[in-house]
Amino acid sequence: MDHAFPCGNISLDFVGSLRARRDESPIEMLTSPARLDSWFAESGIVDAPTTSRPADVTAAMALREAIYDLVSARMAGKTYAKAALEVVNDAARKPSVVPQLTRGGRRTEATPAQALSTVARDAIAILGGPDAALLKECSRPGCTQTYLDTSRGGRREWCAMETCGNKMKAAAYRARKRDERLATAR
């Protein structure tokens, strides 16, 4: 897998395709039509190849940033920006991915616009529903992944334990051990 899906949520994982977005040099994962096609396949939106073009990558990046703007506004308790709403709603108006039954089983083919519509509709479901109150951003410095905190008590701090959680816990453990060594050396 080339892409990361720490949230288990299609639209929030799509937002994470621009990693470390507040760093001086964020890491762009959607660098070409082929990379966008691989994101669609790895996310499970489609199981048949898509044929994205450069214009589809541009549309995907615009949708991703619009979703991020709306999620950020929701987390900050601010009003949604009209431009971001228009981008998400325009994408959602297009037909979404529709699975088909074939003799060989389930098959999901889609155009890039249909795949993006599926992402936009998922974002609308989150932002327009009760899950919007569960939105958080990972607390690991450098990670800007957003996620839904469905943990008991709502105390989850990281987008995923396997990545950011382990890094933060390992750093805390090393800091405790260093402090213990310094305390015994005195």
Q: Give 118-185 as a DSSP string.
A: HHHHHHHHHHTSGGGGGEEE--STT---EEE--SGGG---SS-IIIIIHHHHHHHHHHHHHHHHHHHH
Higher pLDDT, 92 or 4: 92
- Identity of residue 175: A
Name residue 137's beta-bridge partners. 146
Alpha carbons 111 and 56: distance in angstroms, whole number:
10
Q: Is the pLDDT of residue 184 over 90?
A: no
pTM for this entry: 0.83
Q: Is the pLDDT of residue 5 over 70?
A: yes
**Structure-token pair, residue 120:** 């936009």
pLDDT tier for residue 53 given thresholds of 50, 70 and 90: very high
Q: Is the pLDDT of residue 172 over 60?
A: no
- pLDDT per residue over 117-136, tens digit each? 999 999 999 999 999 999 98
Q: Is the pLDDT of residue 74 over 90?
A: yes
DSSP notation for 56-94: HHHHHHHHHHHHHHHHHHHHHTPPPPHHHHHHHHHHHHS
What is the average pLDDT across 70-97?
97
Q: What are the domain boundaries of the chain? A: 10-185
Least confident of 61-70, 71-80, 133-142: 133-142
So what's the architecture of 10-185 in CATH?
Orthogonal Bundle (1.10)
